[in-house]
Structure 1
Amino acid sequence: MTRYGYHCSHEQFSPGDLLAWVRLAEEVGFATASASDHFHPWNERPGQSGFVWSWLGAAMERTRLPFRTVSAPGYRYHPAILAQAGATLSAMYPERLWMALGSGQLLNEGITGLPWPGKSERNARLRECVDVMRALWAGETVTHRGRITVDEAKLYTRPDVPPLVIGAAVSPETARWVGSWADGLITVAGGEPQGLARIVEAFREGGGTGKPVLAQAKIAWGPDEAALRADALAQWGTNLFEGDAPWHLRTPRQFEHAAAFVRADDLDRGITVSTDLGRHAERLRAYADCGVDEITIHQVGRNHPAFLEAFGRHVLPQLA
């Protein structure tokens, strides 16, 4: 049975608000949670970028939920440090953390000043980092000199069961590659379910049969359609681009410039926007039918307490 979770968007909201809201999410019946790992926000209107690894300790202590987060090793994070972060949380909160790892975005990783290569080279760097992290979790002393360098690193605080490594992909090509090495897949669900189905199918074809599939569903819900669309556009209009643009823009201001001609109707390309809770339940069920084991719901608007109460009371029971 598909489990439904609540997404904590650190690039939109303050860490204190997100901590209160994830506790409420658990109370109203959400089964999992995810949290974004950003250094910069998508635009300066939300203007937040809490450090997820500090926040996760507080959130895992205050709830019993399992957590997932997507990070990009090899740039902003050395893989040994990211492995240490995951190991510590997994030792304290056994089997509640799955670490999703991806090739990254310049928006967040560019702060180190390292060269930003093309997708194939970023994938190769990611794969090296995953091997290093798994070796550290296994208790090995790791020396590695390749795209990243590690010199006699060993983790002394390790969990009995290391975190699952979930590969991040937003295209069938990357999903097929992820299936060959990851313990699971995380992707984005927006718009019609057919696109999600193609990504899941490619992951299975690439070696992902029997492995968990996670999807983050972008939604916008509220009682008034016009106000809902205006809020969603202000919050998430800079994150509706297709192709390579989201991975290569450098600053929040550049995203704002690129989104100058995005309009409220464009939200429907990647977000389920509706005042109708029944429609949201129907769309989430269609995503689950694509073979998804966990769907994390990202409410892009600002009305999170009302959203959590409404979905806990009316939507989650329809999906159970």
Structure 2
Amino acid sequence: MTRYGYFLSSEEFTPRELLDQARMAEQAGFEALAISDHFHPWNDQQGESGFVWSVIGALSQVTSLPVTTLVTCPTVRMHPVVNAQAAATSATLLDGGFRFGVGTGEALNEHVTGGAWPDAPARMHMLEEALQIIRKLFTGERVTHRGPHYTVENARLYTLPGEPPPLYVSGFGPQAAALAGRIGDGFVTMQPDADLVAGFRRGGGGDKPVLGGLKVCWDTDRERAIDTVHRLWPNEQLPGELAQVLPTPEHIEQASSLVRRETVAAAGTFGDDPEEHVRAIRAYAEADFDEVYVAQIGPDQQQFFDAYRSKVLPALQGAA
């Protein structure tokens, strides 16, 4: 049975707003939370980017829902040892309800420490080595490691949950799906692509969970909703690897200026027709996803949660 969660957008909302949204999501009937981990927003219109580990600590005090990072890059901006400590502490605070979604990241967030941004194959090798280190640290044993990308000296985690948090690996192509199947406890991908899910399962994923998500804009005025998304999230329609390799929000904005309003309108879910929202979300269940996370773009969060509580979630759960 597919589980429906709410996605907390760290790039668009302040930490306090995210806490309010988490409370509203639980009251509306969402079953889980996901949260993005960024150093920068995609553009200045979004305008926020709080430190995700502080927000997760606060979430543990205001909601009983499980929380997943979608996703953290545990390879460049913060050493895998520090990421392991952050994840273990989060899992302890959330009483086991934390899942560590990880991926190979974007230059936008990771180049800020001054290092060169590796190509995709190198980033996948770094991710694999980072997860080896993190898994060792989750055992509570003292870890020393010397590998091609990382050195660890006498590291041990003393604050650990009863069970280590699962590591869900993000990917958007066949190679990444196969890697997730081989090294992950689950798979994260944003499009309802049944072929990609099948590749993950063939690559060793088996019946491990698959997570995805989408951004919508619930609004009584459909055209206004399209304008809101075109203003705030045109980067969602950037092609190829641009989102992974452009280094600053200004560069993302320059590329996004080529994204036409018509392109946004054709790709998203807008307005206040519950059936349109149900169809968009149900596509993930039909593509064999286990969890789907929905993000509401724009300021009118209460209207969104009211509609989903009364109209959208009952329709989805009733069809499950």
TM-score by length of 1: 0.95
Instruction: Tell me, yes or no, if the aligned pair for 2:106 and 2:244 is still in contact at 8 Å.
Output: yes
Instruction: Tell me, yes or no, if the aligned pair for 1:5 and 1:33 is still in contact at 8 Å.
Output: yes
Aligned-partner residue type, residue 148 of structure 1:
Y
Q: Unaligned 5+ residue runs, structure 2?
A: none
In 2, Cα distance between equivalents of 1:270 and 1:174 = 24
Q: Secondary structure at the match of 2:128?
A: helix
- Structure 1 segment 104-115 matched on structure 2, within 5 A: 104-115=105-116
- Shift of residue 220, structure 1, vs aligned partner: 2.2
1:227 aligned to which of 205, 224, 229: 224
In 2, Cα distance between equivalents of 1:44 and 1:56 = 23
Instruction: Tell me, yes or no, if the aligned pair for 1:218 and 1:270 is still in contact at 8 Å.
Output: no
Q: What's 1:291 paired with?
A: 288
Deviation per residue, 1:55-105 (Å, 9 max, x gap): 111112111000000111121111111111111121232220000111110
Instruction: Tell me, yes or no, if the aligned pair for 1:83 and 1:136 is still in contact at 8 Å.
Output: yes
Bigger Cα displacement from structure 2, 120-129 vs 138-147: 138-147
Q: What's 2:55 paired with?
A: 55
Q: What's 1:217 paired with?
A: 214
- Shift of residue 312, structure 1, vs aligned partner: 1.3
Aligned-partner residue type, residue 3 of structure 1:
R
Instruction: Tell me, yes or no, if the aligned pair for 2:186 and 2:209 is still in contact at 8 Å.
Output: yes
Deviation per residue, 1:27-82 (Å, 9 max, x gap): 01000000110100000012100111001111121110000001111211111111
In 2, Cα distance between equivalents of 1:271 and 1:149 = 44
1:248 aligned to which of 242, 245, 249: 245
1:276 aligned to which of 270, 273, 276: 273
- Structure 1 segment 142-221 matched on structure 2, within 5 A: 142-146=143-147, 147-189=149-191, 193=192, 196-221=193-218
In 2, Cα distance between equivalents of 1:25 and 1:286 = 21
In 2, Cα distance between equivalents of 1:49 and 1:124 = 27
Instruction: Tell me, yes or no, if the aligned pair for 1:142 and 1:150 is still in contact at 8 Å.
Output: yes
- Structure 1 segment 27-46 matched on structure 2, within 5 A: 27-46=27-46
- Shift of residue 238, structure 1, vs aligned partner: 2.4
In 1, Cα distance between equivalents of 2:238 and 2:267 = 9
Aligned-partner residue type, residue 221 of structure 2:
D
Matched, 1:26 2:23: no
Q: Secondary structure at the match of 1:40?
A: coil
Q: Equivalent pairs: percent with the same residue? A: 40
Aligned-partner residue type, residue 50 of structure 1:
G
Q: Unaligned 5+ residue runs, structure 1?
A: none
Aligned-partner residue type, residue 188 of structure 2:
I
TM-score by length of 2: 0.95
Q: What's 1:263 paired with?
A: 260
Q: What's 2:124 paired with?
A: 123
Instruction: Tell me, yes or no, if the aligned pair for 1:240 and 1:269 is still in contact at 8 Å.
Output: no
Matched, 1:103 2:104: yes
Q: Secondary structure at the match of 2:190?
A: strand
Instruction: Tell me, yes or no, if the aligned pair for 2:235 and 2:243 is still in contact at 8 Å.
Output: no
Q: Secondary structure at the match of 2:154?
A: strand
In 2, Cα distance between equivalents of 1:297 and 1:148 = 35
RMSD: 1.2
Aligned-partner residue type, residue 110 of structure 2:
E
Instruction: Tell me, yes or no, if the aligned pair for 1:42 and 1:239 is still in contact at 8 Å.
Output: no
In 2, Cα distance between equivalents of 1:250 and 1:282 = 35
In 2, Cα distance between equivalents of 1:16 and 1:139 = 33
- Shift of residue 270, structure 1, vs aligned partner: 4.4
In 2, Cα distance between equivalents of 1:313 and 1:265 = 30
Q: What's 1:12 paired with?
A: 12
In 2, Cα distance between equivalents of 1:172 and 1:274 = 33
Matched, 1:91 2:92: yes
Q: How many residues align?
A: 315
- Shift of residue 268, structure 1, vs aligned partner: 4.5
